[in-house]
Chains A and B, each alone.
Chain A
């Protein structure tokens, strides 16, 4: 079974609209962390937001927020007021335990913002 599932291979969204990118995860470890990264066409991996399994509140970073529903094992990324520069690949990733053995990534969602 996949540990990280991103069900939207691609999305088209109008500029200024809000966007929700889906991510579900699977782990039996009570301690874990969920990450979202953005990868523009230039190729670098840009960290966006982090949610720990014990965090009581949903994480927010500027226009990014993480809709964390622990019981449903989902960690959706919400981008408010989308901009043309938000066009990129977006990856959801998880570390389990202390994460010494790194992150497990989903396959990504290609988001295109249309003017």
Chain B
């Protein structure tokens, strides 16, 4: 049973259309994160959340917005997708007790054409 799931796993969309990616967790962790992965860049933080309705910007937040209305769901929205947002998107969760580990979802491959 995966404690974190991302949907969809793959998506192709057209430039200018809105896109929403979903991250769902069953671990009741407080912190949730959205990263994007591009060749030569590793993973870069887009937005993160430290509780319901509490979010903040990461390193590459331009063109993205997020919402967290429930502990278990963290949504990433591209208001008007551009080709530069073609990437693999990872969600991660964390709860800061002892080890401070981070668990990643399986990723969403988004292609903007």
Contacts and interface: CB of A to CB of B under 8 A. Distances in A.
Interface in B29-55: 31, 33, 35, 40-45, 48, 50
Interface stretch (B12-20, B64-72, B76-84, B97-105): B97-105
B102 A47 contact: yes
A102 B92 contact: yes
A98 interface: yes
Contacts of B42: 4, 91, 105-108
A105 B43 contact: yes
Given A91-B43, A105-B43, A108-B42, A100 B101 contact: no
A102 B90 CA distance: 12
A45 B99 CA distance: 17
A35 interface: yes
Chain B residues touching A, range? 20 to 34
Contacts of A104: 45
Interface string A71-108: 00000000000000000000101010011111111111
Contacts of A37: 104
Nearest to A39: B37
Contacts of B96: 98-100
A111 to B, nearest CB: 15
A23 to B, nearest CB: 12
Nearest to B96: A98
B58 interface: yes
A43 B48 contact: no
B50 to A, nearest CB: 6
Contacts of A99: 94, 96, 100
Nearest to A95: B100
A100 B56 CA distance: 10
Contacts of B41: 107
Interface of A: 4, 33, 35, 37, 43-45, 47, 50, 52, 91, 93, 95, 98-108
